[in-house]
Amino acid sequence: MKIIKLLILFIFIILFYCFSLVEAYDDRITHPEISRKAVINSSLNSYLKSNLGLKDGINAKVPSNGEADILALLRKGSTDEDDPKCRASNHFHNPTLPWGLSYMTDDTDTVIGTIFVRNYCNNRGWDFEHRKSAVTWATGYLNPAPDGAKETYALDPEHHPIDWDTARDNYYKALTYPTKQDQEFYFAETFSAVGHVMHILQDMAVPAHTRNDMTSHLPDTHKGWSQPYENYVKRYPSLIVNSNPQPTDFPNFSNTRVTDFWDTTAGNSNLLTGNSVGLAEFSNANYLSDYTIPTNPHLNSNHAFSSPKITTDKYQICEKTILNAKGEQIRQKYVGRKNMMGSGCDAFAVVTAFNSSSYTATTTTLNANISRLNLALDASIHVTYAKELIPRAIGYSAGLLDYFFRGKIRLIPDSSNSNPYLNSYVIRNKSTEDMSGTFEIYYDAIDGKRKQVGLGVFPLDISADSDSSPVIFVEPFDAQELGKYILVFRGTMGNENGAVVGWIPHNALEITAPDRCLYSIIDGSVIPQQFRKIKAKVRNATADEPLQAGTLRAVAQYKKRTDYQPDLSTDPPSADSREPGFSSSKSVEIDLTADDIAALNNSTPKEFTFDFSADPIPSGITDLYLQVIFEGTTSNNTDTIIAVGRKDLSEPMHHAFMNWTDRFYLDGVPRTAVEINNNPAFYARASASGRPIDPYPLRTEISFCPVAGHAPTVIYDAMPAGSFGRLIIIVGADPTEFPLTVHRVSVTPPDEKTTNFTSPNIVNQDVNGVFNPAAVYTIRGVKNHGGSAYENYYPYSTGVLEAPWPNMLDLNPIAVTEINP
Amino acid sequence: MTKSRLKKIALALLIAIPLIIYFLFSYRPISGTVVDAETGKPVEGAIVLVEWTRTTGIGLTTTKSYKVAEVVTDKDGKFTLPGVLNPFVNAPYLTIYKKGYVAWNNKSIFPGNGIRVDFKWSSGYVFKLEQFKNTDSYEDHYYFISSAAHTESATKEKHLFIKAYDESEREKAIRERDLKESRSSQK
């Protein structure tokens, strides 16, 4: 018979597992969905856009090339908090007890709990002796923040909470770590950690978690299968999806402490009904869990709660029609709250069949004995509780999220500073709480690393909505975007010690090429060769924050060459023939008119000419970047803000345009007019071409745009034969080549030709530390990066460049006329 | 019945019953067809994502992704999904997405998040995709799809699916929300 017993036991175990687990609705639904609703109902989206430079807000991908956005990371964190499962033994908080004793203790009330929870978790390092209350597990506090003692944890990551402190540490790292990879990693970890903390708070909206009732999570034979209330919510996710929290579902604390979201320590009574109490206090005082119904008998004091008191002054019996297990309609008696009755029956607790017949006789009798009835929770009650507690779980989670991301700080130019050489700013605390701690200023350098500015650490106390006294720090020479600083605070903000606040300005300007396709052009005949103006189209790329008033200026950053010669005689450069650090030239500031502002905010960019004549850009440079800086106000923000755009430009490129009519390319040999005119055979062949033989000047018009018929940018009015012009130009670094059109005209002799061609773009920037020198060509004694020559030939032009042309008659470039400079 | 015969029967049952239960509660491979709900024409290139999760523990439980598969419908709108031979997994999440259509999910219905009751894990089911209407919200739809699709522990296996709806809906959802926020701030 032993084998029969074994068989029965085996089948029972299999069936038990099949039914209890197959029917278990997984944790993908409740917590991530509550978290999603919390995010939607919080201010996080606008906070991220306004304070952390994330224009896509909660849908910003972190990392930027990853699969998950911020919303998904918060959802993920709130899912992962139950993994491994014994973490959840720290998700209970009984607010009627001191926090050092308010954790889950009822796991040994049943044999199943003892085996599958206490012993199971003890054996996996989650010792009962180290169990924590949810408020401690989430915040570290053993007493209310900010002065309460904090728990210390052994350096055991597996059994360590992912709590408020973890989130703040990650946030600080995300703001300050040098590499973008690390910053994005810790940003992701920040949101994931906040998701973990939200999960622990959301559990406080489940009465079983605040009434020390883990027992109700166990497979249970008197109410159906496991976890009745939580399982019901998982089974009907529309209870969450369609939940619409009202203002009263959001916490409303004064001088908020992080622990208040769980427990304000206001005591325990039926009066804990407002939204200025902790979520644990609220659900503990006002709702029931399966094994903690005050009118029912209890095994021991673990489940003995005095609230909510079922008394005739607040509760009454009501009836409603429900479906029984067979699908038949039956009338069921409930205990309802008088103030929630409305027109129907408020299903707060069901009157069970365990009550004696005298109790079930009439509603009057039941009402008279209401404080002694045997009660239970059924599906109707789960709906009642879910409709009241889920909005509050959402509201409190949203409140917690807003509490984490509440600090608002700004670094704004010091308007009282009259010294242009002093890098003076003030730090503004835009928050509603005082801040006392360390403010650090960082910038993103050209090498991609985030660095702290020189002398950029300021211990300060700044009152709410106030400015600091001026702070002066070293302006970095290698910033990716000049004037764009990342401000980080760590310290006490209101009632929070160790708060972390960041500000990453995001206002961005978009820079594109001007109508003539060239950012700048100079005539290489003028020494020193310097760019005195840059044309560029600029647009406000931050669509949700229109610019209002301010100034615009440009800064060119570059590395000076140490061996540059105007005729390129020392070219090509090498990595060592540059200064290691960046130099810069600053334009004159443009006071923007109302029309300028309107144009900047328009989707079509406006062209500006930045005047560098007071601080010209030399032509002997590499690694050229153009920055455009708006300083002023936006319509959403009365503070002075700085919006920056940055464009990688090409190196100054030398193009030579030559008139080769000083020779006639006859049968593969360049010959002078004298040679041809004196040799009848030469003359006969050259004449057969119909081309002029004698030298003549050429009007040479040049444009740099791909559009046919584009107006010329420069004109050599009459380029003499045997001479050349040297144009030094700057285009954007993006294209690998760019088009040119050269139109040459002569009246006497009559001649005209238009040549379209492309030129390789010269960008000598370091590529992964390797310098990429540009090719330099020597044509008739003129060194250049590209250009165009015009010659007459017969019968073919093949081999013209290899032919023995002499140096140009004049090796000094001639002057050019710039159209619409 | 002799004792030894009883033993043999018991032993056979000991082996057979778990096997029967095992296969009874497992998910066999299925095939289906995706069609346009309005025209009835097959929808080619729809991405079908299925995910099983597994919940473990008693009292304290945790749920993890168990198996993920994504397939693309052929020109006849047909697809075949693999199954799972494990009775302990949770019921699968099945979501179908094609640009221009409302995503189909076996648990809930967009819009409104009503509960879907007409689907059972078996071959031959015709999945009818409703065309996305002007009155539908891109933001809500994006959340509907991402909620249906996201178990972040297995995102790599959902690459096709996430890429498809990210590319066609994410920007629209963001812009719609921005517009809503800007309207509400103007009020």
Q: How far is B153 from chain A (nearest CA, A)?
A: 8
CB–CB of A336/A347 below 8 Å?
Answer: yes
pLDDT in tens, B28-49: 899 999 999 999 999 999 999 9
Cα–Cα distance between A187 and B118 in angstroms, integer? 42
A2-5: long-range contacts at Cβ-Cβ below 8 A with a sequence spacing of 24 or more? Answer: A3/B7, A3/B10, A3/B11, A3/B14, A4/B6, A4/B10
pLDDT in tens, B130-168: 999 988 999 889 888 887 776 556 677 888 888 888 888
Q: What is the mean pLDDT of chain B?
A: 85
Tell me the CA distances in angstroms from A551 to A510, A597, A814, one per residue in order: 16, 10, 38
Interface test with A, best of B17, B116, B139, B152 (most A CBs within 10 A): B152
Name the residue facing A46 among B10, B108, B181 (closest C-beta). Answer: B181
Residue contact B62–A85, C-beta within 8 A = yes
Q: Name which of A272, A365, A380 is nearest A316 in CA terms.
A: A365
Buried b (16+ CB within 10 A) or exposed e, A106-126: bbbbbeebeebbbebbeeeeb
Q: How far is A272 from chain B (nearest CA, A)?
A: 29
The pLDDT value given to residue A200: 97
Chain A CB contacts of B150 below 8 Å: 32, 68, 72, 75-76
Cα–Cα distance between A572 and A772 in angstroms, integer? 10
Instruction: Kindly list the averaged pLDDT for each block of 10 residues, start to end, along chain A of length 821.
Output: 60 51 52 92 90 88 85 92 92 95 94 93 90 96 96 81 97 97 96 97 96 84 53 81 92 96 78 86 94 89 91 92 81 91 89 68 83 90 95 98 96 74 86 97 92 95 95 87 89 98 85 92 92 94 80 90 93 86 88 92 88 95 89 72 83 95 94 94 92 94 78 92 96 86 92 90 75 88 93 91 91 89 76
CB–CB of A564/A587 below 8 Å?
Answer: no
Whole-number CA gyration radius for chain A: 39
Q: Name which of A614, A483, A500, A592 is nearest A548 in CA terms.
A: A592
CB of B53 within 8 Å of any CB in chain A?
A: yes
Average pLDDT over residues B63-84: 93
The pLDDT value given to residue A643: 81
The pLDDT value given to residue B60: 87
Here the tokens at position A68 are 């998950």
Cα–Cα distance between A474 and A464 in angstroms, integer? 27
Cα–Cα distance between A197 and A135 in angstroms, integer? 10
pLDDT higher than threshold 60 for residue B123? yes
Q: How far is B99 from chain A (nearest CA, A)?
A: 19
Name the residue facing A59 among B58, B90, B174 (closest C-beta). Answer: B174
Tell me the CA distances in angstroms from A571 to A781, A792, B136, one per residue in order: 14, 30, 62
CB of B90 within 8 Å of any CB in chain A?
A: yes
Q: How far is A637 from chain B (nearest CA, A)?
A: 13
Is A763 strand, coil or helix? Answer: coil
Cα–Cα distance between A258 and A635 in angstroms, integer? 33
CB of A79 within 8 Å of any CB in chain B?
A: yes
Residue contact B60–A121, C-beta within 8 A = yes
Is A709 strand, coil or helix? Answer: coil
Q: How far is A736 from chain B (nearest CA, A)?
A: 28
Here the tokens at position B170 are 């994410």
Which pTM value belongs to this model? 0.76
Name the residue facing A85 among B57, B113, B152 (closest C-beta). Answer: B57
Cα–Cα distance between A165 and A180 in angstroms, integer? 22
Cα–Cα distance between B92 and B106 in angstroms, integer? 8
Residue contact B56–A22, C-beta within 8 A = no
The DSSP line for A554-621 is EEEEEEEBSS--TT-TTPSP-GGGB-SS-EEEEPPPEEPPHHHHHHHHSSSPEEEEEE-TTSPEESSE
Residue contact A24–B146, C-beta within 8 A = no
Residue contact A214–B59, C-beta within 8 A = yes
At a CB cut-off of 8 Å and minimum separation 6, what does A504 contact? Answer: A51, A52, A53, A175, A486
The pLDDT value given to residue A611: 96
Interface test with B, best of A11, A49, A59 (most B CBs within 10 A): A59
CB of A237 within 8 Å of any CB in chain B?
A: yes
Cα–Cα distance between A79 and A428 in angstroms, integer? 37
Q: How far is B143 from chain A (nearest CA, A)?
A: 9
Q: Detail the DSSP E strand segments found in A635-764.
A: 637-648, 653-666, 669-671, 698-703, 714-719, 724-730, 737-746, 751-760
